[in-house]
Structures are given as structure tokens and as C-alpha cells.
Structure 1
Amino acid sequence: MNLAGLLDRSTDRTTARVVELDVAGKRREFTHAELTALARARAGQLTAAGVRPGHVIGIRAGNSVDWLAWDLAALATGARLKAFADTVEIPDPGEFIARHRLALLIADASVPAGTPAVVRPDGAPAPGSVAAGAVVLEVDDVHSLVYSSGTSGQLKGLEISAKGTEYVINRFIESFGITGSDRHLIFLPLPNYQQRLSVYLCLWLGADLVLAPYQRVFQAVRKESPTFLIGPPVFYDTALQLYVKSGGDASLADFLGGRIRFMITGMAPIRRETLDGYWQREVPLLEAYGLTETGMVAWNTPDRHRVGTVGQLMDPESVTFLDDGEVIITRDAPLGRGYFDTDGDPSAADIFRPDGSILTGDYGRLDEEGFLTLIGRKKDVIALGSGRKVHPAEIEAAFAGVDGVSEIVVVPTPQSNRLGAIVTTSDPGDAPLRARVEKQIDEVNAALDAHERVMSLVFSATPLRSDPAFMTANMKLSRARAAEHFAERIAVDTGPGTTGTTDSGTSGTSGAPGAADPGAGSR
């Protein structure tokens, strides 16, 4: 696969389809040939507007076929697309265009259109409307500019490599056997670069592509019958819950449209219970691991997989480990070339190292067959007052077998000398179940080293990983927000004289559910 030949490759494809669904359920369908023709027409409009190779075109809009056409038009003209999340507010388009030194801004109706350089997704720029002061990027290998939470969790700009893009897509095709017979459904935002990798993959091979809003993703999966999906853990948790609630009259495969070959999850840890729920029902759910900075690092495939790991290394020779277990990637063609707009984040300068290696911020270990297990994030390590450091994900894994727990999130306590946890049971309204869960947690604690024990619990009626308030922009749990929530609940639900000791000798707190979080309480 190569980006330069992408439009030529899809020009004459009249059977492969691109489907667009909106929130209301309205459906538009295009052949690859029609999308390519639209992209070429847009490329001509960009040239007439004054866009030249190296100019930067901003886009701030929801997923649509028009979004894809502008992306391909930028590719055809040699311009670089700079993708902004559709949650980015632009009250003053002129100032925004000048600050980002854009040639044009493609923006939906929520952005005022009084500036000549603002173009609607289904519109066309006026001839000669390129903004004064538009930057020209001279670096040939910069394909696009995106924003990522990066390895530190703070939003920062990232230059995307054309060579890195081609490398990842070609390896994916080889490893997963994707062909023109496949059908892929995208429901995450296109500014997330992983989704655009999937778009280029489908256009190159002549595979069908479906764009669905996340609000209608479960209906879309059943009606559009994709053969593979890529999504965050919360999607798979919810899909499995919906299937179970449906009564399970059909198979899970049929419930998911009847054509699924495999599903891929990443972006955040997934519960082992969820993985097992798919495999037990003969639907392959495969964990994978990658970063926008590096591209994919490891993946399970339909032919080679080990549940509970993120798979075998894509390039074993490109991966090394620091003494503390942090994963380092050294690759000839990484997906990211470097950061821009780091907003003063001091960690950004340390990620792309002078020797060409990239620090991932993830701790991992390899087993004897080369499968990688992630231990946790460097930024999530909890430093206790005793000086001991713990990986919260490892502690959570120790409690994975506790019956009745649908989610456990380990956090530091406000005192910083012990661990706490936010727990959601499978039936938050069942008081006896909660008591059994507490007893089992005490039993697991007894087998752990003292500094690894969870000493205080807060019960939540809903899982944090399905609550947008606790998720980052790229669908990962914000442990900082979880820790703040824990501290707030402890402060509300405890007071003088409420600290006690359980039967197992575990110190805890007790109190009634707080009004701010119905169904939540602390032990």
C-alpha cells in the first residue's frame, strides 16, 4: 500500500461501498469510484482557492463522507490535513486560522462562516480564498497533523509520517488477511488517526467501509454486518451486556451482524471477563497495543493469540525495555515524527529521543513465546508514603477473580500511604452481594504483600470506564479523575468515629451512599 497511489487504486471500483449513517439514522451510500471522483473535484477546488503543496488545511467536523473526501483531496494536492476534534470550540474562526497558520478551515455549522477561509464540509472554497500567512510545510514525509493525548495524557500535536502510515497498514494486511471481501465499521472520530488508517486500508483493498455515529453503533453493527471492528473496551463491554439482556436466542456472532471474522480492542485495558465472554461464544476478540507516536507495537491475530496479553510483537527487533520495564520502540518508520503544540508539557521533549528511539510510557514484559503483557502506565504508578511503588493495573488484576465485581479501579488514598479502590458490583442494588464482595476482597488482600493491599473501598453504582466524566479524549480511564472521585467520596461518606476494622483486619471506612452519587458509598 502507498498513499501516493491511493486515489488511482480506487478510481474504477464500482462495487466497493462507503456507507454514511447519521445520528437520525439517515443513510448515504457511495461507491469507491464516486468517493474518489468527489475527492478529485475537491482537489481542483483547493487548487483554485490557492492551496499549494505543503499548505495546511484544518478540519473540524463530525464523521462523514465529506470528511473523507477532504482528506483525500488534501492528499491529491500535497496539502497536509490538520484534524481537530469536533468538540474543539472555535468562537473566532479568523483568530483560529491565523493561530494555526491554516490555508483553509473545513468546519461544520457550529463554527461561524463569516471568514472567507472557512468552508462547510459539503461546500467549496471560493477561488483565491487561501488565508494570508498560511504556513507551508517543506518536510515531504509529513502526511498529516493530529492531536493526541500522548504518552503523558496531555493533549499535544503530533506530526504523522507517510512512511509510517504505509508500514502499519501493510503489516496489518499481512497479519490479518484483509481482502476486498471485508467490510469495516468505524464509529470513533476520524481525527483519531487510527480510524484514518482503517479508511486508507479499505480504499486500497476495495473493502466496504461504514461510518456510523457512536449513538447508533449497535444498530449499525447489526444492520450493516461488518466483518471486523476496532473499538475501545467500553464498546465490547456494552455489546456483550446488550446481548445477554436480549436473552441470547441468537448466537453472539449473529447478534453482531452475522459476518464478524474478528474484533480488535486496545486504547485501554479490558476486563478478562469480557474477553472470555466473547471467546466462549466463539467470537474472536483480540487485544492489540500501539501508540500514535509509534504505530502498532503488538497484536493478537486470529491465528496466533493468547488471551490476557496484547499479542506478539509486530517487530521483535524494534522493541527493548528499560531496567524498570518501560517499553522502548526503535523503528525505521514510526507513525509519528515528533510533537508540536505541546502546551508546555515538559515530558514531550523526552519521548522522541535523539537516537531515534521512542519512550512509550508503558511497562511490559514478554513471555517465553514472545507475547507481551502490559503491566501499567508509567504516569499511573502510585508512589506510597513508604517509598514503595505499585502498578494499579497489576493490583486490579489480582482481584479479577472476585465474584460479583464488574469493575475495580485502584487509586491512592488521600493519605498516600495506602491503596483504595472504586468498585462496581454486577448488581449495585444487592446489599448481600456487596457484603460478599467485601469479604472476597479481604481474602485476596490476605494473600498480597502489605503495600499491595486495598485498604479502603468506595462503591459506585456505575462503572467509571463507561462514564465519559472519567474518560480521556482517546477513551482511556483518567486515573487522576478516579482518584479525585475517591477522595471526594471518602470525604463525604466518612467522619469522626467512622473508621473501623473488618473481620480480616483490613482498615476501612463505612458510611451511607452520598447524594451526589446515588448508589455509591464507602467501606
Structure 2
Amino acid sequence: MSITSLHTKLAAAPNSRLRFLALDGSLVTKSYADLRADVVGVMSELADCGLGAGDLVGVLGPNSYEWVVADLALLGLECVSVALPAEGRPSAAQLAELVATYHLSALLVTGTGPADVESASAVARIGDRPLKLHKRRHTCEECPSLPADVFSIAFSSGTSGSRKGLLLSKAGVENTIRVSAAAWQVTEDDDMLIVMPFSNFQQRYLTYLAIWFGLDVTVVAPERMFQKLKVLEPTIILGPPSFFEVVYNRVRAAGWRDKLPYYAAALLHAVAPGRISRRARARLGKKWTGMYGSRVRLMFTGSAPVPPGLVKVFHRLGAPLFEVYGTTESGWIAFNLPERYRVATAGRPVEGIAVDIAEDGEIVVASPHHQALGYTFGAEQGQDSVFLPGGKVATGDIGRFDRAGFLRLAGRKKNVIITRSGVKISPEELEHEVTTGCRVTRAMVAPSGPDGLLACVVWLDDAESEERRSEVDSYVKELNRQREPSHRISKVVFRPETELTVDEGLLTRNFKIDRDAVTRKIFSTKDRADR
């Protein structure tokens, strides 16, 4: 079985379903039998337009049923899909520019878009059936040379926000599917929740996994997530820490009377941790964790620094939240799982992955089936520093193993701050101390100017509260007394958490802090002064 024939796998679970809850509240439900019929129909129409194996075909738009149909149809035709990040509503001229820039034979648009899509001859809207477009032909010199195993190109934005086109491997992704299914012990009773954009490859792979094993899939617009999860009842949820910080922050902000159930659950967890008291703790924690529904059996988080306190709160409340670690280049690297976990770690290496720590602390992974084979579309220049000889991939992350073999992440290698005296500082470790000890949404440590002194930007739900500011200032001063001078934070900058969004440009598409953007916005303006 190959992912290129996933559409045939749909017949094995005809009654499984996909559900799409849009931003406007509308719900679309399709059985796998319905999905298969639509995929086969689109495959036929695209083939009639001259598209086939090896053609680069873009897919652009917000999450929708049509996005999944287009993706599976391109897999079935063995085209190479190019998942373009959706940003606003491009004009027909901009769509034509995308076709030329990425050497596309065609571009499929989902959702709402310009009314004159038809004026770009190689572009079609998936919702308009039958599909009609004129395949664009490129010269051999224009088209990138792709390895035979590449089936899709996805774009990854790192902490700097810069895009890299990744060449995704059939064998690598099929291995990721098998590893995930075995580790998570998926069954046909599961319902996989998807919230992030399909242009983020992890969300597509989760859809492939669900179809491969006959699971249900529920796709929710992020703005609707917490309104509808009680009704939709997923069983497996993956997301960045921000998906779970709502509960964490509500518990921390609650008064002592409202927090009595939490105190009781925490006491039970201390006396009888693990499965022994989990059911009782879950009942006590329902007022907070019930927003995710009553069927959730696995919650995974990663892709951004995970406050240990976040995971501890969920475990005390009997909620199955676990930190995991992976990259688009390699796939999954380490898992925490219900029967084997350690808080404040990313887990132990997954099956088939060898993890080494280089002399400078960088995590390097070796696997016969990495998820990506390299970079393209202008990102090839840095490829040799990531894809190393001998089937190794340098992750760019710094970490170490503890005595029990659990991997602890310390931050990004490129974020390391080197002082004038040559001292190396991992800002993520300082940020972790602040977010653990204070009621802040996020924190970022960076040099505040040419003097090299460290500043810490903290985002608060009430940035104007003198009490909250005083609390953070006092905590930072106490931390400074325990640190070497080179590691002390000289100033704290307070910002409202409402600005910490993708639209504001301070978060990447993966909800990581865009450090360059924050530095430009805050330390390059008058906001550099203490607030």
C-alpha cells in the first residue's frame, strides 16, 4: 500500500467520515464513500486536462473538503503537489504569478478567491465542477529536477519566518504514518482533530494516517475550536502549546475557592500518580479540560517551547497531554507516551530513529526513511548543513539526554546569544524560567541593543496591570540574584498578549515566536525603553 493509492483505501472504511467546521459555523460531513467518489471524479477531470505523473500542481486556500479532494486526486495521478501557504485573497494576476514562480503545470484554488479565476488559464477552483483548465508547459530548464520518490513540496517557516520548500518523500511519509499508528495504537473508533492549515504538512499527514487506518477526521477553524469540541468529541488532538494554554492560564488565574477541585486533583496525583487515580482526577478537572470533549484519549504538543507547568497541570487534572518532538525534514524524532513519559522532556527516540548530540549540543538524527529529501525553490543553498552524509539530518535544535534516556530540548542553535566575553547563552532556557515562575503568556529574551545587555519581552493578558508587572519584575530580580552576571536580564518589556498573532507578524505559521520580527518591532523602536 502506498500513499499514492490512498483513494482506493477509502473503500475499506466507507462509513468513516470527514467533518469540516468552517469559520462561519457551517458543518460539512462526508463519508469516505462520498470522498472516494469525488476524488475519482476530480482525477478524471484533471487527467482530461492533460495532468499526470510528475507535473507540479499547486494547491492554495484555507482548509476545506475541496482541499482534501484535490490533494488525494493529485496523489492518485502521481502529480507532485505544491502546498502553497494561504495568505489573504490573491488576485487572478497574483495566481498567474504563482504558476510562473513555482513552475506549476496548474494551480487549484479552494475556498473563496477572485471572481476572475478563469482569466488565469492554468488555474481552476476546485469547487467548480467539472474542472477545466489549460495545462501550462514549462521548458526543461525552468522545472526543478526532483528525486523519483518526491510526491509533494511543502513550505516550512522556522523561527525566523523564512520559507523553505521541502521535498517530501513517499517512503519517509509512509514510515511516519506507520510509526505514529503503532505508537498511538489507533483504531477505527478514533477521531483525529485537525486545526492548523493543510499547507502545514503535519495536518495532511494526519489525514493520510486517518484514511490509511479508517479513522474519522474532524477539521475545525481555529476560531471555532473551543466552541465546538464538546460537540465534535475528537479522541486525538495535536497542536502547539497555545492550544492547551487556555486551561493552564484559567487554572492559574482562578481564585482559591474555584481552585479547590484542582487542589484535590493535585493531591491525588501526588499520592497516587498515573492510572490509579486518573479517573477521579479527570472528574475533578472536568470544569477545565471538559472544553476538549469527553472522548479525548491522547493530546500531543510541540513545535514551540512547552512550559513544563502546562503539562503538569494537565496531568494533575487527569488529562492525557504529552510533549513530542519532530521536524518536517525527519518526521517524528521523540515521543512521550502514556506508558512512558517524563515531564519537561520531548520523550524517548521513536522506533527506527538514532539520535546523537553533536559536540556543540545540536541534535542530529539518522534514519533510513527521513520525511524529506532536501530543499528546493531557492532554499538549496543551506541544504548541505542540514542533510548530512550517512542519512543524517541536523535539526538545528540544542538538546541533551537525561540518565533515563529522555531527550531534553534547550533551544535553537541559531538563537544562541554570544556575549562580548564569549559566553554562550540559550535564551529559551531563560524564557522557560520566566514562563514557569510567572503568570505570563509568552516570554522572549534577546540583546536589547549594542551594549549586549539582555532584555525579556513578556506578553500578558493584562499588560497595564501594575500588580502583574510588579510580580514579574520581582521574580526576574530574584532570578538575577541566582545567575552569573552574563545571564542576568537587565530590563523587562511588557506587551499585550493580543498582539502575539500570526496576522500581527509576531508568530510564524506554526505559532512560534518570530524573533526577528519581535526584535524589529520592539527593540528597534521607542518601545526599547522600559515600560
TM class by shorter chain equals 0.7 to 0.9
Matched, 1:484 2:520: yes
Letter in 2 for 1:23: L
Q: TM-score, normalised by structure 1?
A: 0.88
C-alpha distance in 2 between matches for 1:67 and 1:137: 26
Shift of 1:484: 3.0
For 1:271, the equivalent position in structure 2 comes to 307
Aligned to 1:61: 61
Query: Could you tell me how far 1:406 is from its partner in structure 2?
Result: 4.3
Contact kept, 8 Å, 1:152 with 1:379, in 2: the verdict is: no
Amino acid at match of 2:3: L
Q: Which residue number corresponds to residue 51 of structure 1?
A: 51
Instruction: After TM superposition, give the deviation of residue 317 of structure 1 in Å.
Output: 5.4
Match of 1:110, SS state, is coil
CA distance in structure 1 between the aligned counterparts of 2:344 and 2:500, rounded to whole angstroms: 18
Structure 2 distance, partners of 1:367, 1:465, is: 33
Q: TM-score, normalised by structure 2?
A: 0.86
Q: In structure 2, which of residues 474, 482, 493 is the aligned counterpart of residue 447 of structure 1? A: 482
The two structures, once aligned, show a CA RMSD in angstroms of 2.6
Q: Give the aligned residue type for 1:332.
A: P
Shift of the alpha carbon at 1:19? 0.6
Determine whether 1:232 maps to 2:240: yes
Return the offset for 1:351: 1.4
Contact residue 20 and residue 219 of structure 2 kept, 8 A = yes
CA distance in 2, matches of 1:435, 1:93: 51
Structure 1 position 288, deviation (Å): 0.9
Q: How many residues align?
A: 494
1:216 maps to what in 2?
224
* 1:100-499 equivalences in 2 (<5 Å): 100-108=102-110, 109-111=112-114, 112-113=116-117, 114-124=119-129, 129-133=134-138, 139-150=147-158, 153-241=161-249, 250-315=286-351, 318-342=354-378, 346-425=381-460, 427-462=462-497, 468-488=504-524, 491-492=526-527, 494=529
Aligned pair in 2 of structure 1 residues 255, 152: CA closer, same or farther (>3 Å)?
closer
Residue matched to 1:23: 23
Secondary structure of 1:399 counterpart: helix
- Whole-angstrom CA distance in 2 between matches of 1:276 and 1:126: 51
Mind listing any 5+ residue stretches in structure 2 that lack a counterpart?
260-284
Structure 1 letter corresponding to 2:373: R
Cα distance, 1:464 vs structure 2: 6.5
Q: How big is the shift at 1:436?
A: 3.5
1:76 aligns with 2:76: yes
Residue in 1 that maps onto 2:275: none
Task: Confirm or deny: 8 A CA contact 2:355 2:363 kept in the other structure.
Answer: yes
How far apart in 1 are the matches of 2:146 and 2:476?
58
Tell me whether 61-70 or 87-96 shows the greater mean CA deviation. 87-96
What corresponds to 2:270 in structure 1?
Answer: none
**CA deviation profile, 1:122-158 (whole Å, cap 9, x unmatched):** 1246567222228597643111111112586520111
User: Which residue in the other structure is 1:505 paired with?
Assistant: none
C-alpha distance 459-138 of structure 1, shift in aligned 2 (>3 A): closer
> How far apart are the structure 1 equivalents of 2:414 and 2:132?
48
| One-letter identity of the residue aligned with 1:110 | G
* Matched residue, 1:42: 42
CA distances 1:463-491 after superposition (whole Å, capped 9, x unpaired): 775564311122211122223344246x4
How far, CA to CA, are the matches of 2:30 and 2:334 in structure 1? 34
Shift of 1:234: 1.5
Letter in 1 for 2:64: S
Provide, for residues 236-282 of structure 1, a one-character-per-residue CA deviation record: whole Å limited to 9, x for no partner.
11354468889789443432111110211111012223222212211
SS of residue matched to 1:309: coil
Q: Conserved in 2, the CA contact under 8 Å of 1:16 and 1:32? A: yes
Gaps of 5+ in 1: 495-509, 511-520
Alignment check: 8 A CA contact 1:46 1:125 kept: no
1:501 aligned partner: none
Cα offset for 1:40? 0.8
Q: Is the 8 A contact 1:298 1:313 kept in 2?
A: yes
Q: Partners of 2:73 and 2:34 in 1: how far apart?
A: 13
